[in-house]
Amino acid sequence: MLQLYFFRYEVPERHSDDTINVPVYLREKKYGGYSTTSNLFGTPLFVNVTPDSTTYQELYDAVLHKMRRYVTVFQQNGNPEAQDAKKSDDEVENNDTQEEKLEDMNDISLDDSNEGKSSEKAVPTLFTMCTVNSYGSSDIDSLKDDGKALRISGRSYVAVDWYPKMRAKYYDQSKAEETKQHESVDRKVAERKTITLYDCINLFLNKEKLSADDPWYCPSCKEHRQATKKFDLWSLPKMLIIHLKRFSYNRFWRDKLDIKVDFPLTNFDMSKYVMNEGHPPAIYDLHAVSNHFGGLGGGHYTAFCKNPNKDQWYNFDDSSVSSMVEDRVVSSSAYLLCYTRRGANTRQDDLGDEQRMEYDDESPSSAHESTIAGTEDVNDMV
């Protein structure tokens, strides 16, 4: 059975427009020879800070506060066990790195020189911090605890590098991995509503309000204004081709929609959608379907076509042609639907001028190929 896990991030509330939420990665330092590596662990978190005015200590306290559920914070008057753990980490680092690194790490980890306090009473540092790339895998710049404001922007990513001994003593892995099972897990999955071709047509003909980003230019007032638009059908062709929009595009995501649309094979009645009262009965029968398999990056096309003389459907797959049962025609891969109007002679040579479908600018709306159901419409139906 497939199990899906969702992580919900509690993003701190912004105190003002001047504050930003900064993503924070958790890493553990590893020392060996003359190199130092940092390995990611745990779940990233967010902290709310004020750019260009937040100090190192303020950022440190904010991160520590976010981890209070699974990090045991010792008292400010010092903790012998914490000092021993920090001292052990320093010894490993001092033995495996150059003297220059030793001086830098001592400056970051212990504040024992300016205040006249002994290192035995100073509160040890659980971790150091630096800015990293968006994956948390590469350091960009170290953050120094010098009392000055840090250079952090809305595009910054921060990593906290734990000392191994400090993580072992104060980071509770089991509490950090505790999960809550949402009540929706025990609910029965609601059956997906069947989408019909009639549903798509109704959505296609609905009145649509244009967004502020897509205004209409008014020729009278010479300005762009928000407006509504609506499609109406005045006449329909003898050969009706319906295009199901299966490719979804927006500013953040592109995807293919594999939603099954139930379309009729016979007796497809479009009469009620035609505004022209003198239009002949618009009842159609399906004679071909174009299918698309795959995604946006690539795919494969096939076609289902019906031989009206034999009343038999055939599957055209590249150079292969085979007969097929009618039940397979309706599928989630259907892309183009080709209908023929009943009673229409589709041979162009046999049609008189008065029988041919005329399309001109005077018709409110008519199209030989009709695009049905925009991406947003299909998503709304789901």
What pLDDT digit, counting tens, does each position of 109-150 carry?
Answer: 434 444 444 444 445 688 999 999 999 999 999 999 999 999
Give the chain's mean pLDDT. Answer: 78
The 3-state DSSP class for residue 247 equals strand
H-run or E-run covering 81: helix 80-96
Within 8 A by CB and 6+ apart from 182, the residues are none
pLDDT in tens, 208-265: 888 888 888 889 998 888 889 888 999 999 999 999 988 887 777 788 888 899 999 9
pLDDT at 299: 87
**Terminal Cα-to-Cα distance of the chain (whole angstroms):** 24
pLDDT at 177: 86
CB 19 within 8 A of CB 50: yes
Question: Is 330 contained in some domain?
Answer: yes
* CA distance linking residue 90 with residue 29, whole number of Å: 12
* CA distance linking residue 132 with residue 142, whole number of Å: 9
pLDDT at 6: 65
Question: Is 47 contained in some domain?
Answer: yes
At 34, is the pLDDT very low, low, confident or very high (cuts 50, 70, 90)? confident
pLDDT at 125: 82
* CA distance linking residue 276 with residue 166, whole number of Å: 80
Same domain? For 156 and 273 the reply is: no
Percent of the chain with pLDDT over 90: 41
Which of 70-79, 148-157, 210-219 is predicted with the least confidence, judged by mean pLDDT? 70-79
Q: What is the CATH number of the domain that holds 205?
A: 3.90.70.10
At 346, is the pLDDT very low, low, confident or very high (cuts 50, 70, 90)? low
pLDDT at 13: 67
Question: Is 225 contained in some domain?
Answer: yes
Q: Which of 116, 119, 117, 161 is nearest to 136 (CA)?
A: 161
pLDDT at 296 over 60: yes
H-run or E-run covering 253: none
pLDDT at 108: 39
* CA distance linking residue 370 with residue 243, whole number of Å: 6
Same domain? For 166 and 207 the reply is: no
Same domain? For 130 and 271 the reply is: no
Same domain? For 207 and 152 the reply is: no
At 1, is the pLDDT very low, low, confident or very high (cuts 50, 70, 90)? low
pLDDT at 247: 83
Question: Is 361 contained in some domain?
Answer: no
Q: What is the CATH number of the domain that holds 18?
A: 3.10.20
Mean pLDDT for 363-367 is: 39
Mean pLDDT for 260-279 is: 93
* CA distance linking residue 340 with residue 305, whole number of Å: 12
pLDDT at 362: 39
- Cα 252 to its chain centre, rounded Å, is 7
Question: Is 147 contained in some domain?
Answer: yes
Same domain? For 156 and 250 the reply is: no
Looking at the structure of the chain, the number of domains it has is 2
- Cα 361 to its chain centre, rounded Å, is 41
Same domain? For 137 and 270 the reply is: no
pLDDT at 292: 92
pLDDT at 40 over 80: yes
Same domain? For 265 and 144 the reply is: no
Same domain? For 170 and 287 the reply is: no
Parallel/antiparallel/unpaired status of strands 299-307 and 312-317? antiparallel
* CA distance linking residue 291 with residue 334, whole number of Å: 4
Backbone angles phi, psi at 66, to 5 degrees: -65, -25
Same domain? For 265 and 143 the reply is: no
Same domain? For 173 and 242 the reply is: no
pLDDT at 183: 81
Domain containing 154 equals: 11-75+125-179
pLDDT at 15: 61
Question: Is 187 contained in some domain?
Answer: no
Backbone angles phi, psi at 104, to 5 degrees: -65, -45
* CA distance linking residue 41 with residue 3, whole number of Å: 22
Same domain? For 140 and 267 the reply is: no
Q: Which of 335, 352, 204, 366 is nearest to 259 (CA)?
A: 335
Question: Is 80 contained in some domain?
Answer: no
CB 244 within 8 A of CB 335: yes
Q: Which of 179, 211, 244 is the last residue of a domain?
A: 179
Which of 102-106, 284-288, 306-310 is predicted with the least confidence, judged by mean pLDDT? 102-106
How would you class 115 by CB atoms within 10 Å of its CB: exposed for 0-12, middle for 13-18, buried for 19 or more? exposed
Q: Which of 152, 179, 206 is the last residue of a domain?
A: 179
pLDDT at 307 over 80: yes
pLDDT at 294: 87
Same domain? For 295 and 321 the reply is: yes
Question: Is 277 contained in some domain?
Answer: yes
Q: 72 to each of 77, 110, 175, 313, how far by Cα in Å? A: 15, 19, 11, 71
- Cα 52 to its chain centre, rounded Å, is 31
Percent of the chain with pLDDT over 70: 72
Q: What is the largest CA-CA distance in the chain?
A: 106
Within 8 A by CB and 6+ apart from 300, the residues are 292, 293, 294
